[in-house]
C-alpha cells in the first residue's frame, strides 16, 4: 500500500517554489489552476490557496482572477522592516534613553511639507525639533511637523516629558505610512547638535503618516554616524 502523506501548505508552497526555481516555470509563465495543483498533490484547494498567498506576498508570483497565477517576470527582493519607537530602540541596545526638546513652534506648512502631504491649501502645523539621547549622548535628531488640523490636542501636550515620537505612536494611530531612506552630509547646525564633525555622512529616515486622507505627521530622523538599519530577522 502507498502511505498517504498529509501535506501542509508549507509543503505545497515549497513544492511550487521548487518547480519555479528548477526552471519548470520561467518568468511570466502561467502556473496550473489551484484546483489542478490540489488534485495533483492530493490536497484541498484551500491548502494550495494558502501556499499561493504566501508566494504572492513574497513577490514570487502574481495572481489574478481569471488570469490565473503567473511567475513574476521582473524579480524583486522583498524585505520587511521593523522600526521601533526610538526609546525602545535605545533601551534594546542597552542604552539609557533620554530626550531633549530643542524647539517648538506653530506655523503654516512650508512648501516641502505641503508637497509631502499633497496639500494645496495652507495648513497650520506644530513643528518640533528634538534630540534623542543614548546614555546622554546624541543618538537621533528629529525634525517633525504635526498637523494641527488632524491632531489639535497635541498643542496641550508637554513634549519635554514624553517625546513627540512616543506620544504620537501611542495616541494617534495611522492608516498609511510612507518611509524614505537617504543620506545627507551634516551641516554646521546638525553637526553642532549631534556633536559630530561638519560634513559627516548621516543616514536619514523620513516617515510620513496619515489617517485616511488626513495628514498626521512627517518627521526627518537624522541618525548619528555608524547607525545601521537592518531587516527583520
Binding a second copy (rule: CB under 8 A), the pick from 3, 76, 111, 122 is: 76
Stretch that binds a second copy, among 4-12, 33-41, 98-106, 180-188 (CB under 8 A): 180-188
Hey, which residues does 140 pair with through a beta bridge? Answer: 132, 223
Binding DNA (rule: CB under 7 A), the pick from 1, 2, 3, 6 is: 6
Q: How far is residue 132's CA from residue 217's CA, in Å, rounded to a whole number?
A: 18
Nearest residue to 37 via CA among 56, 50, 54: 50
- The position carrying cell 525639533 is 129
Residue 202 binds a second copy (CB under 8 A): yes
Between CA 195 and CA 231, with CA 168 as vertex, the angle to 5 degrees is: 65
Q: Which lies closer to a second copy via its Cβ, residue 20 or residue 109?
A: 20
Residue 72 binds DNA (CB under 7 A): no
Q: How far is residue 210's CA from residue 216's CA, in Å, rounded to a whole number?
A: 5
Q: HSE (CB half, 13 Å, CA atoms) of 165?
A: 25
Q: Which lies closer to a second copy via its Cβ, residue 4 or residue 228?
A: 228
Give the interface with a second copy as residue ranges (CB under 8 A): 21, 59, 74-85, 88, 169-170, 173, 177-185, 199-204, 207, 226-232
Give the interface with DNA as residue ranges (CB under 7 A): 6-11, 31, 33-35, 42-47, 49-50, 52-53, 56, 63-69
Amino acid at each position: 500500500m502507498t502511505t498517504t502523506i498529509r501535506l501542509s501548505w508549507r509543503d505545497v508552497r515549497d513544492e511550487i517554489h521548487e518547480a519555479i526555481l528548477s526552471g519548470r516555470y520561467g518568468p511570466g509563465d502561467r502556473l496550473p489552476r489551484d484546483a489542478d495543483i490540489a488534485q495533483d498533490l492530493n490536497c484541498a484547494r484551500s491548502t494550495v490557496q494558502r501556499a499561493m498567498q504566501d508566494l504572492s506576498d513574497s513577490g514570487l508570483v502574481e495572481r489574478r482572477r481569471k488570469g490565473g497565477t503567473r511567475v513574476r517576470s521582473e524579480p524583486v527582493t522583498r524585505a520587511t522592516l521593523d522600526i521601533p519607537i526610538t526609546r525602545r530602540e535605545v533601551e534594546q541596545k542597552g542604552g539609557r534613553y533620554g530626550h531633549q526638546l530643542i524647539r517648538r513652534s506653530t506655523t503654516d506648512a512650508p512648501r516641502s511639507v505641503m508637497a509631502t502631504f499633497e496639500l494645496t491649501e495652507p495648513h497650520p502645523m506644530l513643528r518640533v525639533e528634538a534630540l534623542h539621547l543614548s546614555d546622554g549622548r546624541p543618538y537621533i535628531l528629529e525634525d517633525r511637523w504635526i498637523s494641527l488640523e488632524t491632531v489639535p490636542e497635541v498643542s496641550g501636550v508637554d513634549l519635554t516629558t514624553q517625546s513627540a515620537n512616543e506620544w504620537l505612536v501611542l495616541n494617534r494611530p495611522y492608516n498609511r505610512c510612507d518611509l524614505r531612506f537617504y543620506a545627507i552630509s551634516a551641516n554646521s547646525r546638525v553637526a553642532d547638535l549631534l556633536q559630530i564633525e561638519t560634513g559627516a555622512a548621516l543616514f536619514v529616515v523620513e516617515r510620513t503618516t496619515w489617517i485616511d486622507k488626513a495628514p498626521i505627521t512627517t518627521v526627518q530622523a537624522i541618525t548619528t554616524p555608524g547607525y545601521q538599519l537592518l531587516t527583520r530577522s
